[in-house]
């Protein structure tokens, strides 16, 4: 059995949430009691329109606020884009990069994702780099090969690329209610940890974590978060309601 650090539980609100939704974040902050603080670290990534307000509200609450994407440049003539420096300036501490929805709807390549992860690190943000196979990759028996290629292309490969988080999100599990078997989750997470050790150096870093994402909900969180090599979860749909997000956080195992 490997050690279990404090779980990292991250909510990805995607393109959901108006100012009134800040009440959910306030409720999460209120429910983040001493026991939860011992067992897990919480980050909420609302749409970028809410990052500043959410971060301002979260001051003193110990929950952190992140964003869902960033541009690779710090500033310049890129109409409509938001840089990592701007997110940091708004109080974000984290940014998700390379989510499968951005890879498919915005044609982001592994190279783009790596540039965004580097931009995040440059701005002092922790990147959460998403990888995951499609249904046909899995059915064709290519899951590990696909993950290996995505990691090699998307993870900045140097020892100073930390803190770094990788989220393993099988594309077919996102928003579908389907999840891989526990054995499959463990196999892929073990593989990702090994690849990160090879890419970043095998010194143990408490800041290097691998999260599972894809249809995590209160009813399956306890079993998934208890799995070996799983350091936390990235949650979409179930992160929109404070009650569900807190229920998932409460399912995190005690660190050991």
Respond yes or no: is residue 41 known to be catalytic.
no
Query: What residues from 155 to 184 belong to the interface with ligand PGA (CB under 6 A)?
Result: 169, 174-175
Judge contact between 188 and 149, C-beta under 8 A: no
Q: Which of residues 29-58 bind ligand PGA (CB under 6 A)?
A: none
Q: Is 94 helix (H, G, I), strand (E, B) or coil?
A: strand
Kindly indicate which of the ranges 63-71, 115-123, 157-165, 230-238 contains the residues binding ligand PGA, using the contact rule CB under 6 A. Answer: 230-238
What 3-state DSSP class applies to 58?
A: helix
The answer to whether the CB of 110 falls within 8 A of the CB of 151 is no
110 touches ligand PGA by CB under 6 A = no
DSSP string, 150-184: HHHHHS--STT--SEEEEE--GGGTTTS----HHH
| DSSP category for residue 252 | S
Phi, psi of 249 (to 5 degrees): -60, -40
Q: Determine whether 169 is an active site residue.
A: yes
| Cβ distance to ligand PGA smaller for residue 85 or 102 | 102
Q: How far apart are the first and last CA of the chain?
A: 10
Pick the closer one to ligand PGA by CB: 55 or 233.
233
Interface with ligand PGA in residues 68-97 (CB under 6 A)? none
The active-site residue out of 169, 189, 193, 195 is: 169
Q: At what angle do helices 143-154 and 182-200 cross, to 10 degrees?
A: 30
CB nearer ligand PGA, residue 85 or residue 212: 212
Residues between 180 and 219 with contacts to ligand PGA, criterion CB under 6 A: 213-216
Name the residue nearer to ligand PGA (CB basis): 102 or 208: 102
- Residues of the shown chain interacting with ligand PGA in the complex, contacts defined by CB under 6 A: 12, 169, 174-175, 213-216, 234-238
Any idea which residues carry the catalytic annotation? 99, 169
């Amino acid at each position: 059995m490997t050690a279990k650090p404090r779980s990292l539980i991250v909510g990805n609100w995607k393109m959901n949430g108006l100012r009134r939704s800040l009440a959910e974040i306030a409720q999460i902050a209120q429910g983040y009691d001493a026991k939860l603080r011992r067992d897990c670290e919480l980050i909420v990534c609302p749409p970028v329109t809410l990052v500043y307000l959410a971060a301002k509200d979260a001051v003193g609450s110990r929950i952190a606020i992140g964003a869902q994407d960033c541009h690779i440049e710090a500033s310049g003539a890129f109409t409509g884009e938001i840089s990592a420096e701007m997110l940091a300036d708004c109080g974000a501490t984290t940014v998700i990069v390379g989510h499968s929805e951005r890879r498919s709807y915005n044609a982001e390549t592994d190279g783009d994702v790596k540039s965004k992860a580097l931009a995040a690190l440059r701005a002092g943000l922790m990147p959460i780099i998403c990888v995951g196979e499609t249904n046909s990759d899995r059915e064709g028996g290519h899951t590990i090969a696909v993950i290996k290629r995505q990691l090699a292309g998307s993870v900045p490969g140097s020892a100073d690329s930390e803190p770094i988080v990788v989220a393993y999100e099988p594309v077919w599990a996102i928003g579908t209610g389907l999840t891989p078997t526990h054995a499959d989750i463990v196999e892929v997470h073990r593989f990702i940890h090994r690849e990160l050790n090879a890419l970043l150096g095998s010194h143990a870093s408490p800041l290097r974590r691998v999260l599972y994402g894809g249809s995590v909900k209160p009813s399956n969180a306890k079993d998934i978060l208890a799995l070996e090599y799983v350091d936390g979860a990235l949650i979409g749909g179930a992160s929109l309601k404070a009650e569900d997000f807190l229920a998932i956080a409460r399912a995190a195992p005690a660190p050991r």
